Every structure is written in structure tokens, then in C-alpha cells.
Amino acid sequence: MLMTLLVAVGFALLAAFLARAMLPAPWNRYVFLLLGVPALGLTAVGFGLTIYAYATCDETVAVAHPNADGTPFMTISSLDCGDPANRSFDVTITQALNGKRVDTTILRSHGLPAPADVAEIEAGEAGGRRFRVTMTDGTSHETGLLGPKAEPDTVWSILNGEVQAFSR
């Protein structure tokens, strides 16, 4: 619904600016006032609501497993916008690759079940580092970081209990 409204606002703005340039003198102003001014107003309201929504959300680190030097290695962060049942979670692995800090998301979740813990497990046949994310309902999902860029072999997405795996 929101995307449809944004597309309609975009087309209204485009039509208003084209009409202003292409129509004769009195009509270009009328079309611009009918289409352009409301579209600009809706755009301003949309930006305001977006900023308000992000300002009311609270991002916290629910679980953090640090490296030996104290820097975060495995973290589960949550985004809480007021409703505990609709929290969003990201499970991130942080590594130093070629002298740079690289954050790799291995699981994203919205709603329940939520990730409860993340642990490094023994590497499989393909090599690389392997991680297991345990969910609040007892299920678990495994991902390995492979290759020189340490890209995940599977990224898990859980949307209100529906599990999807994206493999490379």
C-alpha cells in the first residue's frame, strides 16, 4: 500500500513538472497546483513520518560474543519499535579481512521465533568457519563463511516463522 502511494506521488510530481513546461500559460499553473503541490506535501509528510518512526525505534545488542581483544565477534542485535512481537533481529559476524573490519549478516529475523544465541562450530568438509544460530523455539540454522572474502554460503531469513535460505 505504501509503495503504491509512493509510486502515485512520483507520477503526480512528474506529470506536474511536465505539464508546467509543456502546457500553455494559464493551464500549466492549474495543473501544477492540482498535482504538484499535493504531491510535494505528501512527500514532506512521508519524510516526517519516516524520521519519526526511526526516532522511536530502539536498537540494542541482545547477545555479544567478543574476541580476545574485546572487539565484538558474534552479535545478535534487535530493533524494537514498540511491539515486542514485531522485533527485527540481525545476527552478524565481524572479522578483520585485509586489515579492514567486515560485518557479515548470516541471519535476519522479524517476529517470532527470535535468535537466542550464536556459536562457532567445527568447520565442515568445505572448510572455512561455521556458525550455528539457535532460535527461541529450539531450532537452529547453520552457515559457513567461505573463500577469501568470507562470504556466507547460506543467509537465513525468517519472517514471522517462515524460514527461507538464500545460498550462493
Check pLDDT > 70 for residue 106.
yes
- Concatenating the DSSP letter of every residue in 99-165 gives TEEEEEEEEEEESSS-EEEEEEE---TT-SEEEEEEETTS-EEEEEEETTTTEESEEEEEETTEEEE
Where exactly are the structural domains of the chain?
A: 1-56, 58-167
Q: Taking each helix axis from N to C terminus, what angle separates 2-22 and 37-56, rounded to the nearest 10 degrees?
A: 150
Average pLDDT over residues 161-168: 80
| pLDDT for position 69 | 67
Cross-strand bridge partners of residue 74: 65, 93
Note the pLDDT tens digit of each residue in 29-78.
Answer: 887 788 777 877 877 887 888 788 778 878 888 888 877 766 668 888 88
Mean pLDDT (the chain) is 80
Q: Sorting pLDDT into bands at 50, 70 and 90, what band is 96?
A: confident
Average pLDDT over residues 8-31: 77
pTM for the full predicted model: 0.64
d(CA 115, CA 83): 17
**Of the candidates 7, 9, 83, 63, the residue with the CA atom closest to the CA atom of residue 39:** 9
